[in-house]
């Protein structure tokens, strides 16, 4: 065996021993993924169930009562009949309803005249997300009611189009299906960046670096011996995540495993490069972990599109998301799980990840000094 290969192997083996003997790395690589997957898979759910909405009917006409029963019949709404608008205001303040609908007294009269009929929708703006749902549901019921009424009266459909939404790739619009690929990204970030941010700094802090530097090892051997074990750990963890997602959570996986392997390899290279870079520059475990948390982990949570939709962010923030590799990995993972091998998306993502990995590992090599000063 050539010298260089033997030294790399010897150092990698040492790193493996340290990983295996340190319960925290095993926890992070194998237990944390399962916990996260179950939290995102079962615990956290962004789908909305039935909502309590108040209804105040001030018009005694049949038209109004038919609209009221349309609301009552909606599968998304738990209707709370109320007598006066002031009662409704109290109910919303008390949190008893998420919003309320008032059918004004001139409702049927205006409808007959062909005017814009007055239906007031009040929502609880303290939770804007919920408020948007309330307004959308109410509008949906209203639109449907109008269609049915027009059909009964023999009138042509208003716009001539009936909208029937269909969600491709995730027909039931189950939030778990896009949260789980995102949570795998989080796990890879933790293993790649947080664990490795500690490893070089640890050698400096414990004084083992000084002894290592006095042996014939080269910079490349040293870096490889840090990259290889953590890459393998990351891959092992990815396998656990994949198996758990597909078997336990019933996630679809429409891409190929080869593509998954390729993208994961690239992302791990980015994350490992980042972790090792902060570790080599800061040479202090605490500082390095803090830095990795801020430049890798938090962006992976907030700016990757994993939970928070990138397209709904303000333009400057949206521009910033392009800087963080996690974004590209989230998009690749969601594509692979839900859509399949889409070369146009995957190739662009891979290209970026490759460039980022090259820059970060190159910088780490630059900052890895063969001397103490």
Partner 1 sequence: MDAVAIRLESLVRRFGDVTALEGITADFARGRITGLVGPDGAGKTTLLRLIAGLLAPSGGQLRVEGLDPTVEGDALRVRVGYMPQKFGLYEDLSVQENLNLYADLRGVLGPAREQRLARLLDFTDLTRFTSRRAGDLSGGMKQKLGLACALLGEPNVLLLDEPSVGVDPISRRELWRIVRELAAGGMTVLWSTSYLDEAELCDRVLLLQDGQLRFAGPPGELTARLEGRVVQIRAGGSHRKLLQRALRIPGVIDGVIQGQAIRLVLRDRISVPELSSLAADAGAHVLSVKPRFEDAFIDLLGGGPGGESSIARLMPQVAPGPFDEAVIRASELSKRFGNFVAADQISFAVRRGEVFGLLGPNGAGKSTTFKMLCGLLTPSAGRAAVLGIDLKSSASRARQQLGYMAQKFSLYGNLSVAQNLDFFSGVYGLKGRARTTKIAEMVAAFDLQRYLPDSSETLPLGFKQRLALACAIMHEPAVLFLDEPTSGVDPVTRREFWTHINGVVEKGVTVMVTTHFMDEAEYCDRLALVYRGQVIAAGTPDALKSQVANERQPEPSMEDAFIELVHRHDREAAHA
24 binds partner 1 (CB under 8 A): no
**Contact with partner 1 (CB under 8 A): which of 81, 157, 210, 317?**
210
14 binds partner 1 (CB under 8 A): yes
Residues 217-236 that bind partner 1 (CB under 8 A): 217-218
What 8-state DSSP symbol labels residue 247? I
17 binds partner 1 (CB under 8 A): yes
Q: Please report how close the Cβ of residue 199 comes to partner 1 at its closest, in angstroms.
A: 12
78 binds partner 1 (CB under 8 A): no
Q: What is the DSSP string of 176-239?
A: HHHHHHHHHHHHHHIIIIIIHHHHHHHHHHHTHHHHHHTSS--HHHHHHHHHHHHHHHHHHHHH
166 binds partner 1 (CB under 8 A): no
98 binds partner 1 (CB under 8 A): no
Buried b (16+ CB within 10 A) or exposed e, 107-135: bbeebeeeeebebebbbbeeeeebbebbe
Q: Please report how close the Cβ of residue 355 comes to partner 1 at its closest, in angstroms.
A: 32
**20 neighbors 14 (Cβ within 8 angstroms):** no
**202 neighbors 47 (Cβ within 8 angstroms):** no
Edge-first strand order for the sheet with 119-123 is 77-82, 51-57, 99-103, 119-123
Q: Please report how close the Cβ of residue 36 comes to partner 1 at its closest, in angstroms.
A: 27
| Stretch 169-208: interaction string toward partner 1, x if CB under 8 A | -------------------------------------xxx
22 binds partner 1 (CB under 8 A): yes
Q: CB nearer to partner 1: give 166 or 370.
A: 370
Q: CB nearer to partner 1: give 10 or 347.
A: 10
Q: CB nearer to partner 1: give 117 or 209.
A: 209
Angle at 30 between CA 25 and CA 32, to 5 degrees: 85
Of 12-20, 39-47, 100-108, 243-251, which segment contacts partner 1 by CB under 8 A? 12-20
The residue ranges that bind partner 1 (CB under 8 A) are: 3, 6-7, 9-11, 13-14, 17-18, 21-22, 206-208, 210-218, 370-373
């Amino acid at each position: 065996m050539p010298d260089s290969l033997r030294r790399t192997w010897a150092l990698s083996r040492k790193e493996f021993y340290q990983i295996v003997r340190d319960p925290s790395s095993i926890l992070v690589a194998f237990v944390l993924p399962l916990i996260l997957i179950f939290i995102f898979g079962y615990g956290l759910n962004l789908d909305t169930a039935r909502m309590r909405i108040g209804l105040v009917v001030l018009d005694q006409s049949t038209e109004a009562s038919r609209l009221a029963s349309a609301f009552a019949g909606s599968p998304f709404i738990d209707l709370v009949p109320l007598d006066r608008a002031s009662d409704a205001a109290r109910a919303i303040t008390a949190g008893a309803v998420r919003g309320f609908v008032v059918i004004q007294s001139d409702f049927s009269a205006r409808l007959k005249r062909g005017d814009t009929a007055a239906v007031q929708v009040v929502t609880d703006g303290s939770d804007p997300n919920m408020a948007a749902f309330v307004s959308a549901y109410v509008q949906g019921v209203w639109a449907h009611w109008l269609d049915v009424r027009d059909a009964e009266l023999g009138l042509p459909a208003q716009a001539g189009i009936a909208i029937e939404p269909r969600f491709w790739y995730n027909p039931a619009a189950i939030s778990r299906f896009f949260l789980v690929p995102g949570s795998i990204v989080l796990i890879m970030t933790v293993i790649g960046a947080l664990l490795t941010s500690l490893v070089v700094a640890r050698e400096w802090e414990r004084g083992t670096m000084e002894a290592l530097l006095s042996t014939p090892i080269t910079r490349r051997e040293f870096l490889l011996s840090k990259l290889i074990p953590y890459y393998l750990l990351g891959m092992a963890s990815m396998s656990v995540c994949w198996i758990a997602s597909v078997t336990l959570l019933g996630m679809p996986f429409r891409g190929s495993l080869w593509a998954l392997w390729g993208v994961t390899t690239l992302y791990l290279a980015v994350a490992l490069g980042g972790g090792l870079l902060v570790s080599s520059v800061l040479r202090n475990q605490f500082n390095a972990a803090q830095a990795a948390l801020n430049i890798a982990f938090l962006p992976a949570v907030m700016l990757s599109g994993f939970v928070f939709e990138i397209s709904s962010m303000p333009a400057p923030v949206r521009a910033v998301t392009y800087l963080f590799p996690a974004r590209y990995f989230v998009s690749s993972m969601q594509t692979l799980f839900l859509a399949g091998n889409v070369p146009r998306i995957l190739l662009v993502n891979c290209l970026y990840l490759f460039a980022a990995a090259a820059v970060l590992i190159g910088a780490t090599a630059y900052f890895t000094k063969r001397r103490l000063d």
